[in-house]
Amino acid sequence: MSRKLSRRDFLRLTGVATGGVALAACAPQPTPAPAPAAKAEPTKAAAPAAPTAAPAAAKKVTIEFMNWWGAQRRPLMDQVITEFMAVNPNIEVINRETPWDNRDQVAATAMASSTPPDVMMSTRVETYKYAKEGLIIPIDDYVKASGLNVDKLFYPGEINNQRWNGKLWALPMPTGGGNSSLYIYSKKLFKEAGLDPEKPPKTWQELDEVAQKITKKKGDAIEVMGVDPVGGSTAGATTLIYWLVCNNGNLATEDGRTLTINTPEAIETLEWMIEFVNKYYGNWSNCIDFWTGNNDTAPDGRFYKDRLGIWWVNVSAFSHLKTQAPDKYKDPQNAWGVALRPYNAKNPKATHHGETGLAFAWGQVIPKAISKEKQDAAYKFVEFLSTNEKGVCAFLFAQDRPAPLISCNANPDYKKNNPYWDIVLKALETDISLPITPVQTEINSFIKEAVEKALLGTAKPKDALDAAAKQGQAVLDKYWKGA
pLDDT in tens, 386-411: 999 999 999 999 998 899 999 999 99
Residue 400 has φ and ψ, to the nearest 5°, of 60, 30
Interatomic CA distance for residues 325 and 328, integer angstroms: 6
3-state SS, residue 423: helix
Residue 287 has φ and ψ, to the nearest 5°, of -65, -45
3-state SS, residue 225: strand
Q: Across the strands, what pairs with 339?
A: 183
pLDDT of 219 > 80? The answer is yes
pLDDT of 363 > 50? The answer is yes
Distances (CA, A) of 125 to 162, 385, 430, 476: 10, 21, 22, 14
pLDDT of 32 > 90? The answer is no
> How many other β-carbons are positioned within 10 Å of the β-carbon of residue 475?
17
Which residue, 336, 320, 375, 322, is CA-closest to 142?
Answer: 375
pLDDT of 364 > 90? The answer is yes
CA 157, chain centre distance (Å): 11
pLDDT of 432 > 90? The answer is no
HSE, CB side, 13 Å, CA atoms: give it for residue 320.
19
pLDDT value of residue 55: 53
Question: What 8-state DSSP symbol labels residue 438?
Answer: T
pLDDT of 158 > 60? The answer is yes
Per-residue pLDDT, averaged over 97-103, amounts to 95
Question: What 8-state DSSP symbol labels residue 106?
Answer: H
Lowest mean pLDDT among 17-31, 86-100, 244-258, 269-283: 17-31
> Domains in the chain, ordered, with CATH?
7-177+360-425 (3.40.190.10), 182-340 (3.40.190.10)
Which residue, 483, 367, 480, is CA-closest to 109?
Answer: 367
For the chain, the average pLDDT equals 87
Which residue, 98, 102, 31, 101, is CA-closest to 71?
Answer: 98
Give the 3-state secondary structure percentages of the chain, helix then strand then coil, rounded to 5: 50, 10, 40
pLDDT of 29 > 60? The answer is no
Distances (CA, A) of 372 to 185, 205, 406: 50, 56, 31
Per-residue pLDDT, averaged over 288-304, amounts to 76
**pLDDT digit string, tens, across residues 196-210:** 999 999 999 999 999
What pTM did the predictor assign?
0.78
Q: Which amino acid is at 245?
A: V
Lowest mean pLDDT among 55-69, 183-197, 338-352: 55-69
Interatomic CA distance for residues 220 and 1, integer angstroms: 62
- 186 neighbors 336 (Cβ within 8 angstroms): yes
Interatomic CA distance for residues 136 and 241, integer angstroms: 29
Per-residue pLDDT, averaged over 282-294, amounts to 88
Distances (CA, A) of 181 to 58, 67, 311, 383: 47, 25, 12, 27
- 364 neighbors 122 (Cβ within 8 angstroms): yes
HSE, CB side, 13 Å, CA atoms: give it for residue 176.
30
> How many other β-carbons are positioned within 10 Å of the β-carbon of residue 416?
10
pLDDT of 452 > 60? The answer is yes
Helices (runs of H) and strands (runs of E) counted in the chain = 22, 11
HSE, CB side, 13 Å, CA atoms: give it for residue 393.
32
pLDDT-based confidence at residue 299 (cuts at 50, 70, 90):
low
Distances (CA, A) of 350 to 203, 204, 249, 347: 10, 11, 8, 5
